[in-house]
């Protein structure tokens, strides 16, 4: 079978499997034993009090179950917008929860500006069409994508949430909101579909590929910034209250 350059058939989408269809969505659970074992081990670590915040730890595990185990995983193979939502949940929800559960205990060896830049580079690279398609072509590439996105975001959030980092933390949050907003805007205003791997599957859900891409851009542009904005306001408010108490 001849495949147009840049297009990957559904059967080649790694890990989450072929794109979910409306008729089979709720049957598409991912019961990967290795993933389940890792999550069980993480739950044991959190449950035995080896995390700083058990609620945050269990919250992160719950979100990971939704992202990788529930039919949401197969849905992310079908629509680029769901894949972007998957990435947003990973870096803006799972990562900060893990940062609360396993925080930075001492001053980091890497300046926060380095972590901001590193995370931005990782995010942008994995959303270039060629590397994005490669990241779905095999299980190792898929997990390289997931681990690098989550790992860079976790390190950044640990630095942001570290004590005595209010000024740099707010700057880091603003910079991250800015670069994610720019990426989202580029997706919204792109004149043609860029992620050809989802061409056929988007149609099965009644979405034109360009509309699917624009929806993904809006998710990256607006809702994705809300956790960063909320944490920024909380840090600024906490810093202001501490300053008032010191007077």
| Residue among 169, 165, 172 nearest 106 (CA) | 165
Least confident of 49-58, 67-76, 237-246: 237-246
Give the number of domains in the chain.
Answer: 1
Q: What is the pLDDT of residues 173-217, one digit of tens each?
A: 999 999 999 999 999 999 999 998 898 899 999 999 999 999 999
| pLDDT of res. 246 | 59
Cβ–Cβ < 8 Å for 218, 84: no
In a domain, 106, yes or no: yes
pLDDT exceeding 90 applies to what percent of the chain? 81
Residue 1 lies in a domain: no
Name the band, by pLDDT with cuts 50, 70 and 90, for residue 17. confident
Give the separation between CA 57 and CA 24, rounded to whole angstroms. 32
Those residues whose C-beta lies under 8 Å from the C-beta of residue 92, and which sit 6 or more positions away, are 153, 224, 227, 228
Helical axes 139-160 vs 112-126, angle rounded to 10°: 150
Q: How many CB atoms lie within 10 A of CB 33?
A: 7
Backbone angles phi, psi at 190, to 5 degrees: -60, 135
Instruction: Identify the pLDDT of residue 206.
Output: 93
Choice among 56-65, 92-101, 193-202 with the minimum mean pLDDT = 193-202
Confidence of residue 245 (pLDDT cuts 50, 70, 90): low
Q: Tell me the average pLDDT across 216-244.
A: 90
Rounded mean pLDDT of 7-12?
Answer: 44
Specify the pLDDT at position 174.
97
What per-residue confidence (pLDDT) applies to 14? Answer: 78
**Is the pLDDT confidence value at 12 over 60?**
no
Residues 111-138: tens digit of each pLDDT: 999 999 999 999 999 999 999 999 999 9
Asked, for residue 160, whether it belongs to a domain, the answer is: yes
pLDDT by residue (tens digit) across 64-85? 999 999 999 999 999 999 999 9
Domain that holds residue 145: 13-246
Contact of 18 with 30, CB cutoff 8 Å: no
């Amino acid at each position: 079978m001849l495949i147009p350059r840049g297009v990957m058939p559904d059967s080649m989408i790694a890990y989450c499997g072929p794109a979910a269809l409306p008729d089979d969505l709720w049957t598409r659970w991912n019961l990967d034993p290795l993933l389940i074992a890792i999550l069980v081990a993480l739950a044991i670590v959190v449950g035995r009090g080896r995390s700083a915040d058990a609620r945050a730890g269990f919250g992160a595990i719950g979100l990971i179950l939704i992202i990788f185990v529930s039919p949401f995983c197969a849905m992310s193979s079908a629509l680029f917008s769901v894949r972007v939502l998957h990435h947003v949940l990973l870096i803006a929800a799972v990562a900060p929860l893990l940062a609360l559960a396993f925080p930075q205990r001492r001053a980091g060896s890497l300046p926060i500006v380095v972590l901001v830049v590193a995370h931005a580079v990782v995010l942008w690279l994995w959303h270039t069409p060629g590397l994005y398609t490669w990241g779905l072509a095999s299980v190792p590439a898929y997990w390289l994508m997931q681990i690098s996105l989550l790992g860079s975001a976790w390190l950044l959030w640990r630095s942001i949430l570290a004590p005595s980092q209010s000024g740099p933390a707010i700057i880091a949050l603003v910079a991250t909101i800015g670069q994610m907003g720019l990426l989202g805007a580029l997706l919204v205003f792109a004149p043609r579909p860029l992620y050809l791997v989802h061409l056929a599957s988007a149609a099965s859900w009644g979405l034109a590929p360009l509309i699917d891409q624009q929806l993904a851009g809006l998710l990256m542009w607006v809702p994705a910034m809300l956790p960063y904005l909320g944490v920024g306001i909380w840090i600024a408010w906490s810093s202001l209250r501490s300053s008032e108490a010191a007077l």
